[in-house]
Amino acid sequence: MRINKGDQVLVLIGRNSGKKSRVVSVDKENGKVTVEGVNVVHKHVRRSRRNPQGGRLSMEMPIPISNVKIICPSCSKPTRVGARFDGDGTKYRICKKCNANISIIAPPKKHVTK
């Protein structure tokens, strides 16, 4: 699953199932993503110097990457992501539904000279 920060995703499982939102961060090591407004927990914070108001602090908790599906910016449907190499070696993420490029994964390969 190729999901990047800033991607629009559809949440498939859990409390926020069916919600469309934006990926705030990706934790590739643990296979988790944090999605804006999804899986929000409220922490009760005591008044302190750092937080003079106290009260409730809401923050998003990461969810498993398999619980979300990327939304294609081109056909705006939840889709699977493929990869494609262009003629010059540029690697793209593509939508498996409409074949549109979603974003560039890697620039064209260049010969490295030292």
Per rule CB under 5 A, is residue 95 in the interface with Zn ion?
A: yes
Per rule CB under 5 A, is residue 75 in the interface with Zn ion?
A: yes
* DSSP-assigned letters across all residues of the chain: ----TT-EEEE-SSTTTT-EEEEEEEETTTTEEEETTSSEEEEEE---SS-TT-EEEEEEPPEEGGGEEEEPTTT-SEE-EEEEE-TTS-EEEEETTT--EEEEEEPPP-----
Q: How many residues line the site for Zn ion (CB under 5 A)?
A: 7
Which one, 63 or 71, has the nearer CB to Zn ion? 71
Per rule CB under 5 A, is residue 74 in the interface with Zn ion?
A: yes
List residues binding Zn ion (CB under 5 A): 72, 74-75, 95, 97-98, 100
